[in-house]
Amino acid sequence: MIFRRSRSAEPQTSASPTSGAGETGYAGQIVRHLYRELLKREPDPDALAACVAWMERGATIEDIKAEIVGSPEYRERVSGHPIAKFPAIYRPERISYFTHRGRFRPLAISIETVNICNNDCVICPYSIQTRKKQGMDMAVFAKVVADYAALGGGPVTLTPMVGEVLLDKQLLDRLELLRATPAISRVSAITNATMAYLYTDEELAELAGYFDRITVSVYGLDAEEFALMTRKDQYDQFMDSLGRLIRIFGVAKVGLGARHLRERTADEIDAWLADVAQRAGVEANQLSLPGTRTYANWTVFDTSKPLPLDAEWMPPQRNTEQCALPLISLQVLSSGKVSFCGCADFDGKTALMLGDIREASLAELLGSERVKALWDWQGCGVPEPCKGCSFYMPISQLNDLHSAFSDPIGTFGG
């Protein structure tokens, strides 16, 4: 077994291991790589031999990595890490998820490739945004992907902050680039599905091959509710498109999430799912429809004005504990500007803006003094957009939410 020294990550054994051929083989290469990447140095000879011997006895690469990350030496290296002040989540087994070479990185990244939408939902600030409606330049997108890969990569969601991903005219090209980037572990998006009619069956099949998961927002179970929510008369088009998406993507790749205005009974939901299943050519018991009638204020809505039918605004709140969501909601807007947390910054004009990806790397933006301050509500104060944000999630809630680190998009959606 390997033990940690008081001031370093050097693994120790009860007797000094002898140097062997393994130190120049695959195991030795792995150990050297981990030391260079995590500690910025070569392993001492005894440490190298101990690690190689441990691997020969069955230790995995993750075992060696966890040993290094849990060492006092590594902790000292990352003592300036903005997350280090939160013991509930800054644990050896979790550090590598939000750290790359000693520096902060998000658990996932959101890339808004288009901020244009076919709907104008009463619960969304789409019509309030003042920034230019546009698709992201492909060169900017490529830089975002490259910068994210340089930070270790991970999951990517193409869910726009306010927009519809199927309106992105370069969507297939972007997905091809993501899939050609080994550091990208998962690609997903949330869509309203209606605009699937713009794509042929062959193009939808190609999209299905690139996406790991899509989630369809269901804005009503009948034409009246749909029109009240979206302020558009496209319910029939939505239902046709939803059936096509499920049929072509496969039921396992498509999730559903209802945004109700009307309180629905289980029988009403089951009847609607049966209709969708018939259109998609699947069994109704393969589909489910979780949903809500309670909505966030986006920091801009006047919640004293009631929503239609049975829908309600989330109650006002006063947020004081550090919010966890910037770990998973870092958003690159269609313009190339980068927001610390897209949840409360749909217009890209608040104190949460970090800069422009066209002028600095993602690593530079995330290593800035601004990011350190934004991760320090206690010392620097709560940012104005965050004080009453109803998307808020206290960082202490991540303590027992283990899947948030290994599968952030699957846990939070996106």
List, edge to edge, every strand of the sheet that includes 331-332: 291-292, 254-259, 213-218, 184-191, 154-157, 109-111, 331-332, 337-339, 353-356
32: amino acid identity, one letter: R
* Cα–Cα distance, 9 to 51 (Å, whole number): 11
Residue 367: count of CB within 10 angstroms of its CB = 17
Please determine, for residue 20, whether its predicted confidence score (pLDDT) is greater than 90: no
Give the CA distances from residue 229 to residues 18, 118, 243, 315, 346, in Å, rounded to whole numbers and listed in that order: 71, 13, 20, 20, 19
Q: How far apart are CA 367 and CA 180, in angstroms?
A: 27
**Which residue ranges form the domains of the chain, and what is each CATH number?**
26-79 (no CATH), 103-411 (3.20.20.70)
The phi, psi pair for 156, rounded to 5°, reads -130, 135
Q: Can you read off the two tokens belonging to residue 389? A: 């944000």
- Copy the structure tokens of residue 21: 């051929």
pLDDT digit string (tens) for 181-207? 999 999 999 999 999 999 999 999 999
Q: In the chain, what is the greatest distance between 2 CA atoms, to the nearest angstrom? A: 77
pLDDT for res 312 = 97
What is the sign, positive or negative, of the torsion defined by CA atoms of 103, 108, 111, 116?
Answer: negative
pLDDT at 151 over 90: yes
Kindly report, residue by residue over 243-265, the tens digit of the pLDDT. Answer: 999 999 999 999 999 999 999 99
Q: What is the tens place of the pLDDT at every residue in 323-346? A: 999 998 899 999 999 999 977 788
Decide if 278 contacts 285 (C-beta within 8 A): no
Which two three-digit tokens encode residue 7?
A: 């001031």
Q: Residue 368 carries which DSSP code?
A: S
- Within 13 A of 116's CA, how many CA atoms are on the CB side? 11
pLDDT confidence bin for 19, thresholds 50/70/90: very low
- Distance (Å, rounded) from C-alpha 236 to C-alpha 67? 56
Q: Is residue 65's pLDDT more than 90? A: no
Give me the chain's average pLDDT, please: 90
Outline where 281-347 has alpha helix (H): 326-329
Where helices occur in 250-345 by DSSP H, the ranges are 266-280, 326-329
Q: Which residue has the higher pLDDT, 74 or 141?
A: 141
